[in-house]
């Protein structure tokens, strides 16, 4: 009997301690809320009702903790299911709109093809300015690499090899068209390509000119320049540095034995 009574006393003490913790928690919580409420509502004191309400809430949570845990698990499963469903819908929407998605590779290829087309058109424009009564197109390079990714040695040559028929003199012409300046400069080449042209001109011992078209359209540029390659120091040129080589668009090109103008 004494053993049973001791167990009951321990159980009662344990319950008293739990109730004490609950009262302390509810008292602290209700006091905090009540103080905030009093500041906003002209000193009305709700500490009593709040203490009772918080006590009951904490009591039932402790008493029915199994049900509380089950409720939390159920709510968590509902939230997870909603999240997974939303994610699935988002993927399905992305997949359904895939055929209309923005294709960066296709856009880049389109821009590249457009640049090539403008270059070809400007070459034809320059050729038309070389009066066939005086000039013969000896070579007209076709960039085979536009159709294939392999390196083709002939593609390193300039666009045109031109002969001035009255004297038989020959010179090279590279045609470059740009719709606009990039950072206030005419970006006509790369360092590698420019050095390749310089080596080529040195080996052939023939005059080499870069005919540049700027603005407008390839078959009707706003400005034109006939720049000797030996005068070029960089793959990008400022327009003010090309003033001495300006050529009025639409007028035929001439050769005086030293320069193309």
- Asked if the model's pLDDT at residue 45 lies above 60, the reply is no
Identify which has the larger pLDDT, 111 or 225. 225
CATH number at 240 reads 3.40.1350.10
Residue 72 inside a domain? The answer is yes
61 and 156 both lie in a single domain: no
Q: Are residues 121 and 223 in the same domain?
A: yes
Are residues 123 and 161 located together in one domain of the fold?
A: yes
Return the closest-CA partner of residue 206 out of 172, 167, 238. 172
Q: Are residues 89 and 134 in the same domain?
A: no
Give a yes or no: residue 253 inside a domain.
no
Confidence band, pLDDT 50/70/90 cuts, at residue 195:
very high
Of the ranges 38-52, 129-143, 196-210, 223-237, which one carries the lowest mean pLDDT score?
38-52
Residue 104 lies in a domain: no
Is residue 252 assigned to a domain?
no
Instruction: Report the 3 state secondary structure along the chain.
Output: CHHHHHHHHHHHHHHHHHHHHHHHHHHHHHHHHHHHHHHHCCCCCCHHHHHHHHHHHHHHHHHCHHHHHHHHHHHHHHHHHHHHHHHHHHHHHHHHCHHHCCCHHHHHHHHHHHHHHHHHHHHHHHHHCCCCCCEEEEEECCCHHHCCCCCCHHHHCCCEEEEECCCCEEEEEEEEEECCCECCEEECCCHHHHHHHHHHHHHHCCCEEEEEEECCECCECCEEEEEEHHHCCCCEECHHHHHHHEECCCCCCCECCCCEC
Which residue range forms the structural domain that includes residue 183? 114-247
pTM as predicted = 0.55
- Residue 56: pLDDT band (50, 70, 90) is low
Q: Is 59 among the domain residues?
A: yes
- CB-based contact 183:85 (threshold 8 Å): no
Residue 212 maps to a domain: yes
Same domain, 191 and 87: no
Question: For residue 204, is pLDDT > 50?
Answer: yes
Instruction: Say whether both 90 and 174 belong to one domain.
Output: no
Query: Do 146 and 68 have their domain in common?
Result: no
For 57-114, write each residue's pLDDT tens digit.
666 666 666 677 767 777 777 887 777 777 766 665 544 443 333 343 433 344 555 6
When divided into structural domains, the chain yields a total of 2
Q: Do 69 and 145 belong to one domain? A: no
- At residue 157, the pLDDT reads 84
Could you tell me the end-to-end alpha-carbon distance of the chain, in angstroms, rounded to an integer?
125
Distances (CA, A) of 69 to 62, 63, 76: 11, 12, 11
In a domain, 13, yes or no: yes
As a whole-number percent, the residues of the chain with pLDDT over 70 amount to 58
Residue 103 belongs to some domain of the structure: no
Say if residue 71 is in the same domain as residue 169.
no
- Taking 80 as the threshold, does the pLDDT of residue 235 lie above it? yes
- 141 and 222 housed in the same domain: yes
Do 91 and 119 belong together in one domain? no
């Amino acid at each position: 009997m004494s053993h049973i009574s001791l167990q009951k006393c321990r159980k009662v003490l344990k319950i008293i301690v739990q109730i004490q913790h609950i009262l302390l928690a509810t008292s602290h919580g209700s006091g905090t809320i009540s103080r905030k409420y009093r500041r906003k509502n002209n000193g009305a004191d709700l500490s009593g009702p709040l203490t009772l309400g918080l006590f009951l809430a904490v009591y039932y949570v402790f008493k029915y903790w199994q049900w509380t845990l089950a409720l939390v698990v159920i709510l968590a499963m509902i939230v997870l299911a909603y999240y997974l469903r939303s994610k699935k819908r988002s993927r399905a929407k992305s997949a359904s709109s895939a055929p209309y998605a923005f294709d960066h590779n296709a856009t880049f290829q389109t821009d590249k093809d457009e640049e090539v087309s403008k270059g070809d058109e400007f070459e034809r424009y320059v050729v038309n300015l070389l009066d066939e009564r005086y000039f013969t197109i000896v070579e007209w390079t076709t960039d085979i690499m536009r159709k294939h990714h392999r390196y083709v040695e002939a593609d390193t040559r300039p666009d045109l090899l031109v002969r001035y028929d009255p004297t038989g003199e020959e010179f090279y012409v590279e045609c470059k068209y740009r719709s606009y300046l990039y950072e206030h400069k005419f970006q006509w080449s790369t360092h590698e390509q420019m050095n390749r042209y310089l080596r080529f001109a040195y080996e052939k011992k023939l005059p080499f000119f870069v005919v540049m078209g700027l603005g407008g359209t390839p078959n009707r540029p706003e400005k034109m320049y006939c720049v000797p390659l030996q005068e070029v120091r960089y793959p990008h040129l400022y327009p003010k540095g090309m003033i001495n080589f300006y050529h009025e668009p639409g007028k035929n090109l001439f050769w005086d034995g030293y320069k193309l103008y």
